[in-house]
Amino acid sequence: MSDQSDITKKKNISDNTYAVMVSFAGTVGMTDIMAVVGNSITYTNSFFAFIVFGLSVYVLSHICPSFRCSIKRNKFFSYISSILLSFALHMGASLESTANVNFKDIRFYLFSVLLAVYFAPIISWLWKAASDCISRLSVKKNDEKALDFRQIWAVIFILWLPVFFAMYPGAFVYDATEEYIQVISRSFSMHHPLFHVLMLGGIVHLAEYLGLGANLGIAVYTILQMIVFSAVLAYAVFRLAKKGLNKKFQLAVILFFGLFPVFPMYAVCSAKDTLFTASVLVVVMLLIDHMEDAGEFYAKKRVLFVIASVFVMLFRNNGVYAYVIAILVIAVIGLCVRFDRKNLARLMVLMLLSVVLYKGTDYCLKLATHATGGEYQEKLTVPIQQLARVYKYAPETFSDEERKQLYEILPEDYLITYNPRISDVLKSGFNNEAYAKDKEKYNSLWFHIGMRKPYIYLNAWLVNSYGYWYPDMIINVYGGNQMYTFMYKDSSYFGFETEPPGERHSLFPLLERFYRNISLELYQQKVPVISMLFAPGFVFILFAGHLLGLMKDKKWITVAAYSPVWLLWATVLLGPTVLVRYVLILWCILPVMLCDRPEKIKV
């Protein structure tokens, strides 16, 4: 008995020592991410650091023993996840404060590794806690009835109505005026997806043609969009019952979809991202259904899957890239894990058919509208930013001949406007005609400058997209820009206004003011914890954590089903800036990700 007691004491001492060491490593590793502004010792020479250390010791003393005894696969994925998270936080903190990461600074790597050691046992515990939580959400009684789909749909739609009337006729923003002008001028381009241009601009112009006014046209479009978006979210909730999750949790998700500001905000927004997000959500949910019950999928859902897939590609250009690559990803994973070959082949046929239907529809729309193309700046956002950053911070890198070549595609008047967090102004000055005449020459210019200044190129890309993986970014990429009814100052979280030809007539001014504060002020971002729920970077961390957890558990088929989401996220890293609308799918998929389970749940 005495020997056993001595062994227990030694084990406890060992566990506590390990917890102290890991806690100290984490406290030190947080140095650069906590002191992002002001004096560099603001965090280290503070009582707050001592509190962090003390609480960490207490928590880790309970977590570390089970982590140290866990299987190697769990430890491996925990450390992979912690390394990715730690480096993301350190790079993001540096980009937020100085718009630059010093990759030559040894402290950057040292602190990142120390913080990764600290995060590993915590991530392992969070995976287990999440799994236990999902189990407790399962239905306990077999006779519990599912919520009615139409009732869920009606509740979400009704909860959004006050926001619609507060912003009546809707938030007509984000390229909406440009799309409308294309319709009334009959001068179309491929800059914006033609399907959305014709739908949005056509409804608004039709209302004007009938003498009803643009406001009514915008309101009709907004209502139709609210109906579709709320129906898709209602279906997401309805599926939870079929997965065996209890009614209380379903009610919580309904309230989340109906009241959390991001959802009604974009439900009443004219941007193509809302209907695009709804289409992606349908595709992902149906892919999950296919992986779980292919028979039911082909019997009842295959037509809806094809329609939603076509809409994914019609509403956003990056949807095309993500969807096509998703076909390859699903095929490779399906073959590697020996998924039923017949069902996999049938799924590939449906997905390829969707691509063919998209190409045919898009081609017909282009012929019918005589839309012009030939714009390269959207695809070259990152290279444009990289060249401009080198021009600003290391102009001596360019020879006289190279500088002359640069001016041919990016005039000096535009180069001096370089903004590290958004490329819109630079893109507007890009000479597409010059680039089209000799792509090889300008691609060669980009390549050779990059070989000389690789760190500047890397920083140009990171600072243009870091808000998608760093949770503490203040989204104010439009700061200083004058709009129709306001100027962006502290925040550009959401466009908010109703641009011409529409005109805002709010029926609930106080509610309108609330959404204005969320959109244009540091309003929700001043509230600890709550602010994270509005951060694209934080929602992505939750998404990525769940995805890595699925990989840890070898649930590769489910990872494949979610491939359209993580591939879309990858495409926005090559986009012009960081905005919520580009990754709206992350908020929509969150309840599905946290509540879905790859195995069938018997109710």
Q: Which of 511, 541, 567 marks a domain boundary? A: 511
- Say if residue 103 is in the same domain as residue 204: no
Q: Do the domain assignments include residue 523?
A: no
What is the C-alpha separation between 585 and 587, in angstroms, rounded? 5
Read off the pLDDT of residues 543-556 as tens digits, 9 standing for 90 and up. Answer: 999 999 999 989 99
User: Computed from CA positions of residues 406, 409, 414, 417, in that sequence, does the dihedral angle turn out positive or negative?
Assistant: negative
pLDDT at 93: 92
Whether the per-residue pLDDT at 37 is higher than 80: the answer is no
Residue 6, pLDDT > 80, answer no
pLDDT in tens, 112-136: 999 999 999 999 999 888 888 777 7
C-beta separation of 469 from 537 below 8 A:
yes
User: Between residues 421 and 596, which one has the greater pLDDT?
Assistant: 421
Q: What is the pLDDT of residue 556?
A: 92
pLDDT at 240 over 70: yes
In the chain, what are the helix, strand and coil shares in percent, each to the nearest 5?
A: 70, 0, 25
Q: What is the mean pLDDT of the chain?
A: 89
Amino acid identity of 430?
F
82 and 9 belong to one structural domain:
yes
Do 100 and 55 share a structural domain?
A: yes
> Under DSSP, is residue 419 helix (H, G, I), strand (E, B) or coil?
strand
Task: Clarify whether residues 116 and 163 are in a common domain.
Answer: no
Domain that holds residue 195: 147-271+493-511
Is residue 542 a contact partner of residue 582, using CB atoms and an 8 Å limit?
Answer: no
Whether 532 maps to a domain, the answer reads no
Per residue in 429-455, pLDDT tens? 999 999 999 999 999 999 999 999 999
Tell me if residue 354 falls in helix, strand or coil: helix
CA of residue 279 relative to chain centroid, distance: 15
Q: What's the pLDDT at 166?
A: 97
The last residue of a domain, from among 106, 122, 138: 122
Span 478-494, mean pLDDT? 89
Same structural domain, 90 and 177: no
Confidence of residue 501 (pLDDT cuts 50, 70, 90): very high
Task: Find residue 171's DSSP bridge partners.
Answer: 269
Judged by DSSP in three states, 321 sits in: helix
Provide the phi-psi class of 70: left if phi over 0, else alpha when psi is between -120 and 50, else beta: beta
On whether residue 248 sits in a domain, the answer given is yes
Residue 245, strand partner residues:
138
Q: Which residue in 292, 170, 232 sits closest to 557, CA to CA? A: 292
* R_g of the chain, CA atoms, integer Å: 26
575: in domain = no
Residue 256: CB atoms within 10 A of its CB come to 18
Same domain, 30 and 93: yes
Task: Please give the average per-residue pLDDT across 173-179, as a whole number.
Answer: 92
Long-range contacts of the stretch 568-575 (C-beta < 8 A, 24+):
568/280, 568/318, 568/319, 568/322, 569/468, 569/540, 569/543, 570/322, 571/318, 571/321, 571/322, 572/318, 572/465, 572/468, 573/461, 573/465, 573/468, 574/381, 574/382, 574/465, 575/318, 575/381, 575/465
pLDDT at 43: 72
Among 515, 539, 524, 537, CA closest to 587: 539
Checking if the pLDDT of 364 tops 80, the result is: yes
Portion of the chain with pLDDT greater than 90, in percent: 69
Where does residue 600 rank: exposed (0-12), middle (13-18), buried (19+ CB within 10 A)? exposed
pLDDT band at 39, cuts 50/70/90? Answer: low
Classify residue 37: in a domain, yes or no: yes
Of 44-58, 151-165, 283-297, 585-599, give the lowest mean pLDDT range: 585-599
State pTM to two decimals: 0.92
In terms of Cα–Cα distance, which of 89, 82, 93 is closest to 35? 93
Q: State which of 511, 538, 556 marks the end of a domain.
A: 511
Please tell me whether residues 9 and 112 are part of one structural domain: yes
- Residue 143: its pLDDT value, please? 46
Q: Averaged over 514-539, what is the pLDDT?
A: 92
CA contacts within 13 A on the Cβ side of 225: 30
Amino acid 601: pLDDT = 31
CA distance 174 to 576: 13
Closest C-alpha among 225, 209, 321 to residue 276: 225
CA dist 227 to 201, 223, 232, Å?
19, 6, 9
Is residue 161 a part of any domain in this protein?
yes
Q: Any idea which of 326-335, 428-437, 470-479, 594-603 has the lowest mean pLDDT?
A: 594-603
Tokens in use for 409?
A: 């595609």
Look at residue 384 and give its three-state secondary structure.
helix
Looking at the fold, whether 198 and 246 belong to one and the same domain comes out as yes
303 located within any domain: no
Residue 476 amino acid letter: N
* Shared domain check, 53 and 17: yes
In this prediction, residue 374 carries a pLDDT of: 63
CA nearest to 495, candidates 344, 271, 197, 252: 271
498: in domain: yes
In this prediction, residues 272-287 reach a mean pLDDT of 96
Q: Are 153 and 249 part of one and the same domain? A: yes
Domain count, the chain: 2
Q: Are residues 110 and 177 in the same domain?
A: no
Same domain, 38 and 75: yes
Question: In whole angstroms, what is the distance from residue 154 CA to residue 528 CA?
Answer: 33
